[in-house]
Structure formats: C-alpha cells, structure tokens
Structure 1
Amino acid sequence: MYVPRAFTENDTAMLHQQMEATPLPVLITHSSQGLIASHVPLLLAPDEGPYGTLYGHLARANPHWQVLAEGGEALLVFAGEQAYISPSFYPSKAEHGKAVPTWNYLAVHAWGQPEVFDDPKRLLALVSRLSHKHEIKRSEPWAVSDAPTDYIDSMLKAIVGFSLPVSRLIGKRKLSQNRSVADQVGVRDGLLASGNSHEHALAQLMTKE
C-alpha cells in the first residue's frame, strides 16, 4: 500500500482500533494457481506479539485453508470509512480552479505467517469468542451453547481455524491532511451535507484530526 507521509498512521493502538472496527476483512495469499482471497471475521489478541495476533476460521470446503497450511506470508486488508471527495468541496477551487477529484479513506494492512488448526476444543473456543463479540450488544445475545452439542460438534468438523501473528502493520488515514485548513473544512462540510451515513462518519473523523 502506497502511504505518503502525510497520511501515515503508525500508532499501533489506533491501528488495532481500526482492525476491531472492520467486521469482515479480506485475507489474501498467493498459491500455485495465483492470488486467492477470502472474507473472514476475525478476533484480535492485541497483546500477543509486537503487533498482536489474529484468529479466524475458514470452511473446510474452502481450499484457501490448504494454501495457509502450505506456509508463506498472508495479507489481511481492513478497509475503513471512505468517501469520494469532489473538487467543489474546496474553497480554493473558486480562487484558481486547480483541483481534481480524490478519495478519502482509512485502511490497515497486516502481514504474517498463518498457522492452521482443527482441534475441536480450540475451534469451539474460537467460535464462542467470535459469536460473543458480535452478539454482546443484542438485547438477547445468542451463544454457541444455545445450540445442541451434537450439532455444534458437526459444525466444528466443517471448519478449519487459523492464527496469524502480525509481523508487519501499516495504516493509512487519508483525510485531506495535505490540503489547507480552509479546504479541509470544506471537505468536512461537504461530507456532512451528504445523506450518506458513511460520509458523515468520515467527516467526524476529520473533526478529530
């Protein structure tokens, strides 16, 4: 990922926050047949290793887990809020017209060498924690223990887990930092005027910069 200095984010805690806020990152690896990608929900253990360790699982029918088992580096892409930026947002455009469209966005890329596992107890702990993460805010959260034991046992046989200790971590926060203060305010106001909730969220992030 190309990251100009103005958009570089090196704070590990902030990068972890973005990773936690991305519910379905993309797992990318290279195989003998070329690149392969899967969309996977993940758990982050921030204190395991210098950049944390990620845990997830794939369907056993998905050949991607076999690629992970072969070794080699994997890349995970965590895409955050994003929005098209119109030149009309910039007050400077009215002065000299020197403006072109661009895109503001947040992204985190994490690399590491995954390890696959299919131990039932370890898989059960993983899916229980994943379910808890996404159910906890519901009024009546579902738990793995709500389902029949034999059914869960059969479901566990249909997945393969993996852990990925993060060895490299890069973050990008492109929020018009390379523009004048007036242009930054113009972008923020332009996004807030939109009816798109994601654009509103990006504008709020610009307010915090």
Structure 2
Amino acid sequence: MYIPTQYRNENLSEVKEFLERNSFGILVSQVDGKPWATHIPLELDTDKDGNDILVSHIAKANPQWTQFSEQTEVLCIFNGPHSYISSSWYQEEEVPTWNYIAVHVYGTLKIIDEAAVLDSMHKLVNKYEKNSACPVAIENLSPKTMRQIKGVVGFKIRITDIQAAKKLSQGREHDHPRIIEELNKRDAQAASVASAMTKSNSA
C-alpha cells in the first residue's frame, strides 16, 4: 500500500503486537480472475523453522479456497483504530484528514491437514475464551459438534512482506494536545486513536 515515509511503522515487534491484538482481518486473493475477500481471524504464529506465519480456516462452501495456490501471493489486511480529524482542532488553517493504523501482510499460502486445523482452533478458542465468565474449551465439545471441522479448509500463510501504516498527526505535534482532547470527546474508535497518539508521544 502507499505509505508516506513519515507514517511508515518499521518497528517489527510493535507491528506483531498489533497483529496479535487486531487479528480479525481480510484475506484477499483471486477467484476466477477477480479480487475476492473473506473476513476471518488470521492468527500470528511461527512454524517449525521459526518463520512468521498466519494461520486460519474458511468454509469449504467459500469458493476462495478452490483457487489457493502455493505459487500465488495473497494479501491480508488488518485495520486498527481510525478517526476523522477536524482541522478546526489545529492552530493554523489546514484541510481535515483521517488518522488510522493499518497493516498489510503479504505471503504464500499452503493448505494444512485436519490435525493442524484442530490445533489452530484450540489456540484460537483458548486465546479469546480466557477472559470469559464461562469459557468454552474445544476438548469439551461433543463429537457431533466437532464434526463441523469437516466443513472447513485450514491454511497457513508464510509471510513475505509486511507494510505497516501509523498515521497519527505526525508533523503536527504542536496540535496533539487539542487533537487528543477532541478525540476523547467522541466515540470509542476516536478515543482509541487518542490513546495511540498518547502512547506514541511517550515512546
């Protein structure tokens, strides 16, 4: 994606942390010569050789998987907080803009077997159930329920490139206190941008 130099985030550990926190992404590939996108959790992991990978699964009813190829690069898009920025919050006249955090991950995809899919499901469920009042565990689900695994196709994506954008009013640091104040008056999304700006300023 196009990222102006001042908005590029090249801190890999920070980007990985972002991917772990914002793992519900968009898998983009080609189906019959047209772009096809599926919204799914794409979990960051490492393979046996220590390479960074993304792991997920989609329904067999989704035609996207029928054209998966190990030779074809796919794109995974991850969105973080974003918000409109009014130029009325600036000390000087300027056009309004938008602050956001986003990561694009490119990689090559390989279908995995049922045992690997089940292992990935254990990790996925345990990650998101750990703060539940009554957590669900894959191992406690009935064989009838678990037969649904037959209806999915699991895959791993070996990461070949990461492009990370963090646009948080860089170059307007003198306006940050007012921008953060105004963002905190808005919705949760805007408040998350304010929090990211505060964190970035203190780094």
Task: Tell whether the structures are fold-level matches, with TM greater than 0.5.
Answer: yes
Asked if the contact 1:83–1:198 (Cα under 8 Å) also holds between the matched residues in 2, the reply is yes
Q: 2:95 aligns with which of 94, 100, 103?
A: 100
Residue identity in the other structure for 2:108: Q
Structure 1 residues 4, 47: CA separation in 2 closer, same or farther (over 3 Å shift)?
Answer: farther
Q: 2:199 aligns with which of 195, 198, 208?
A: 208
State the secondary structure of the residue aligned to 1:199: helix
Equivalent position of 1:199 in the other structure:
190
CA–CA distance in structure 1, aligned partners of residues 46 and 60 of structure 2:
27
State the secondary structure of the residue aligned to 1:134: helix
State the secondary structure of the residue aligned to 2:194: helix
Equivalent position of 2:108 in the other structure:
113
Q: CA deviation at 1:184?
A: 2.1
CA–CA distance in structure 2, aligned partners of residues 44 and 206 of structure 1:
25
Equivalent position of 1:166 in the other structure:
159
Aligned residues: 200
Ranges in structure 2 where 5+ consecutive residues have no aligned partner: none
Structure 1 residues 50, 104: CA separation in 2 closer, same or farther (over 3 Å shift)?
Answer: farther
Ranges in structure 1 where 5+ consecutive residues have no aligned partner: none
TM-score (norm 2): 0.92
Q: CA deviation at 1:142?
A: 0.2
Equivalent position of 1:182 in the other structure:
174
State the secondary structure of the residue aligned to 1:141: coil
Identity %: 30
* Alignment of structure 1 residues 59-138 onto 2, 5 Å: 59-69=59-69, 71-92=71-92, 97=93, 99-117=94-112, 119-138=113-132
CA–CA distance in structure 1, aligned partners of residues 194 and 106 of structure 2:
29
The reply on whether 1:11 has 2:11 as its aligned counterpart is: yes
Aligned-residue RMSD, C-alpha: 1.7
Q: CA deviation at 1:171?
A: 0.6
CA–CA distance in structure 1, aligned partners of residues 46 and 141 of structure 2:
30
